[in-house]
């Protein structure tokens, strides 16, 4: 009986060790990309989820899913902490969902599904690394960016529109601000990344554009 108990403890310690290792693999990828949650965060998320799942199975014999279900709630609060609003978009969503997925890896390990957790880790790393190139390809061909452009008068509005058309950029007016001296317009421009680069160079040397920001 003691042998079986020791054997069970050894298996659990091995699962915890694997959870640290898999959390390290995912965390290293996030650390390499300098994200808000890095190496230590993902190791602790995977390890903690694994340990909580083991405890849920051991102490919640009649209702083992009760404790494990609360892991998901806790991870939700943790994920929300890394989401923040950038200048033109919401940042940190990928990191938050990676934390959520890493918790599932730890839970799978804690339940004894080693191969499932290994497969999950490989898929997470593939999604984070390989699909980045596909995302960059889409972004380079369909870049959406907001510009705040200041011109001297209302006629400058038509001038800006012609400028966008010449550089193959689709445009929408987001907001405008009038004053006695200037017209400040926020534009949402859509087009290829190189078209945006050309537009920036043109506006930098254009006398009719008082100032711009993006």
Mark which of 105, 139, 173 sits at the end of a domain: 139
Q: Residue 22 CA to chain centroid, in angstroms?
A: 19
Distance from the first to the final alpha carbon of the chain: 69
Q: Residue 73 CA to chain centroid, in angstroms?
A: 19
Residues 147 and 135 in one domain: no
Q: What is the pLDDT of residues 88-113, one digit of tens each?
A: 566 778 888 888 899 999 999 988 89
Mark which of 116, 139, 162 sits at the end of a domain: 139
Burial 159-197 (b: 16+ CB within 10 A, else e): ebeebbeebebebeeeeeeeeeeebebbbebebbeebbe
Residues 26 and 57 in one domain: yes
Residues 148 and 69 in one domain: no
Residues 180 and 151 in one domain: yes
Q: Where in the sequence is the domain holding 125, given as residue range(s)? A: 2-139
The low-confidence residues of the chain, meaning pLDDT below 70, are: 1-7, 36, 60-68, 85-90, 154
φ/ψ of residue 205, rounded to 5: -105, 5
Mark which of 139, 156, 191 sits at the end of a domain: 139
Task: Tell me if 67 sits within 8 A of 52, measured CB to CB.
Answer: yes
Residues 10 and 112 in one domain: yes
| Residue owning tokens 């310690």 | 13
Question: pLDDT value at position 3?
Answer: 38
Residues 9 and 90 in one domain: yes
The count of domains in the chain is 2
Residue 149, SS3? strand
Residues 57 and 119 in one domain: yes
What is the C-alpha separation between 93 and 159, in angstroms, rounded?
A: 38
Task: Tell me if 69 sits within 8 A of 57, measured CB to CB.
Answer: no
Residues 176 and 203 in one domain: yes
What is the C-alpha separation between 198 and 168, in angstroms, rounded?
A: 10
Question: pLDDT value at position 61?
Answer: 60
What is the C-alpha separation between 136 and 131, in angstroms, rounded?
A: 9
Instruction: Name the nearest CA neighbour of 167 among 205, 139, 207, 195.
Output: 195
Residues 147 and 134 in one domain: no
Q: Does the pTM of the predicted model rise above 0.75? A: no
Residues 63 and 169 in one domain: no
Residues 151 and 182 in one domain: yes
Question: pLDDT value at position 2?
Answer: 40
Question: pLDDT value at position 165?
Answer: 92
Which residues have C-beta within 8 Å of that of residue 27, sequence separation ≥ 6?
A: 37, 38, 39, 40, 41, 42, 43
Question: pLDDT value at position 88?
Answer: 56
Residues 119 and 177 in one domain: no
């Amino acid at each position: 009986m003691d042998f079986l108990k020791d054997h069970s403890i050894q298996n659990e310690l091995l699962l915890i060790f694997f959870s640290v290792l898999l959390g390290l693999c995912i965390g290293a990828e996030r650390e390499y990309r300098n994200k808000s949650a890095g190496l230590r965060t993902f190791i602790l998320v995977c390890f903690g989820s694994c340990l909580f799942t083991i405890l849920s199975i051991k102490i919640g014999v009649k209702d083992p899913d009760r404790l494990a279900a609360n892991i998901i709630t806790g991870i939700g609060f943790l994920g929300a902490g890394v989401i923040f609003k950038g200048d033109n978009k919401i940042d940190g969503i990928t990191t938050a969902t990676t934390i959520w997925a890493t918790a599932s890896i730890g839970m799978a390990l804690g339940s004894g599904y080693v191969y499932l957790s290994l497969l999950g880790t490989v898929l997470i790393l593939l999604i984070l690394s390989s699909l980045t190139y596909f995302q960059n390809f889409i972004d380079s061909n369909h870049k959406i960016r907001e510009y705040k452009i200041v011109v001297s008068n209302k006629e400058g509005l038509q001038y800006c529109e012609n400028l966008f058309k010449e550089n193959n950029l689709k445009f929408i007016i987001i907001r405008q601000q009038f004053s006695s001296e200037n017209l400040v317009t926020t534009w949402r421009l859509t087009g290829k990344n190189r078209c945006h680069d050309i537009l920036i160079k043109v506006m930098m040397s254009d006398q009719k554009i008082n100032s711009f920001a993006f």
